[in-house]
Amino acid sequence: MVGVSSKKENQTSIDEPVQKIEDEIKLLKRELIKHLKHLAEMKAMYIRQRKQTDMFKTQAQGYEKKARLLLEKAQRGELSEKEADSLAIQALSKKDEIMKSVTGSEIGLKKHHDAVQKMQEHTHRLKFQIQQWEQELRTLQTRARISAATKRMNERRMVKEGDSIELSFQQISERVAADEALAESYASINTSRSDLDDEIDKALGGTTQAQESLEKLKAEIDAEKKELNKKSSDSLDIDDLKKSLQ
């Protein structure tokens, strides 16, 4: 139960901040998606504006080229100088008009380019922040799992190596002591003389052990006599039998 409760406490202690970080990462990811979409739109606008500016430049260069060709025609006598000058002035005026648009467009392109760069840098920072937080979160979660597992293992080891083993040794010691005491009690009962034995010996005027030895010795002598008589009886019977058979 200690391991389970400590595991729950450990989970509770990290679940709340982990959830908070995960929620914040989700918000950043949604913001990143919006920024990427906006950045793509800004880049598309910049590309269109740049193409339009390049087209204006090409047109301006075309009108300047036409003015040059008109003057060359006049020099070759293919066109009157007055008419060539008039048309060349109109072409150059058109070129100047277009170049004013090109100049304004280039200023807009520069501002647009700077805005795209800032948006792109912000997007990169946001993306890096998300990746960094996710990596740190994974690292912390891994460390938390390892820490919790180590803690549970140490708790189990402490219980096994401490309380349980000491309790087992204590129980074994108590059992051995009880068995030893019981064995000594049985030995005491079997070998010790009781008060009754002492009273009997006193009444008989001697020790019971001596009396028993005397009786045993008499019984052995009687048994030996009976055995000799039996052998003698057996031998006489055999002699009588031999004589009867002759």
| Section 120-144 average pLDDT | 88
Contact 97, 48 (CB under 8 A): no
* CA-based R_g, the chain, Å: 62
Instruction: Give the three-state DSSP class for 225.
Output: helix
Q: How far is it, in rounded angstroms, from Cα 212 to Cα 199?
A: 16
Tell me whether residue 177 is in a domain: no
The domain containing residue 15 runs over which residues?
Answer: 2-160
Percent of the chain with pLDDT over 90: 16
* Mean pLDDT estimate for the chain: 76
Tell me whether residue 168 is in a domain: no
Whether 113 and 217 map to the same domain: the answer is: no
Whether 155 and 202 map to the same domain: the answer is: no
Q: Report which DSSP code applies to 56.
A: H
Q: What is the pLDDT of residue 153?
A: 78
Tell me whether residue 95 is in a domain: yes
Q: Is the confidence at residue 28, as pLDDT, over 60?
A: yes
Whether 205 and 140 map to the same domain: the answer is: no
**Tokens encoding 225:** 């006599």
CB-side neighbour CA atoms (13 Å) of 210: 7
Whether 67 and 155 map to the same domain: the answer is: yes
Tell me the CA distances in angstroms from 242 to 128, 229, 233, one per residue in order: 132, 20, 15
Kindly indicate the confidence band of residue 147, based on its pLDDT and cuts at 50, 70 and 90.
Answer: confident
Q: What is the pLDDT of residue 157?
A: 66
Q: Is the confidence at residue 12, as pLDDT, over 70?
A: no
Q: Is the confidence at residue 61, as pLDDT, over 60?
A: yes
Residue 122: give its domain's CATH number. Answer: 1.10.287
Helix, strand, coil fractions of the chain, as percent rounded to 5: 95, 0, 5
Tell me whether residue 178 is in a domain: no
Number of structural domains, the chain? 2
Whether 46 and 150 map to the same domain: the answer is: yes
Tell me whether residue 169 is in a domain: no
Whether 135 and 237 map to the same domain: the answer is: no
Q: What is the pLDDT of residue 198?
A: 59
Between 221 and 201, the higher pLDDT residue: 221
| Section 23-37 average pLDDT | 89
Contact 49, 109 (CB under 8 A): yes
**Tokens encoding 167:** 């309790």
| Section 132-157 average pLDDT | 82
Q: Is the confidence at residue 159, as pLDDT, over 50?
A: yes
What digits encode the pLDDT tens for the residues 78-92? Answer: 888 899 899 989 999
**Tokens encoding 25:** 């990462």
Whether 114 and 205 map to the same domain: the answer is: no
Residue 176: how many other CB atoms lie within 10 Å: 10
Between 26 and 189, the higher pLDDT residue: 26
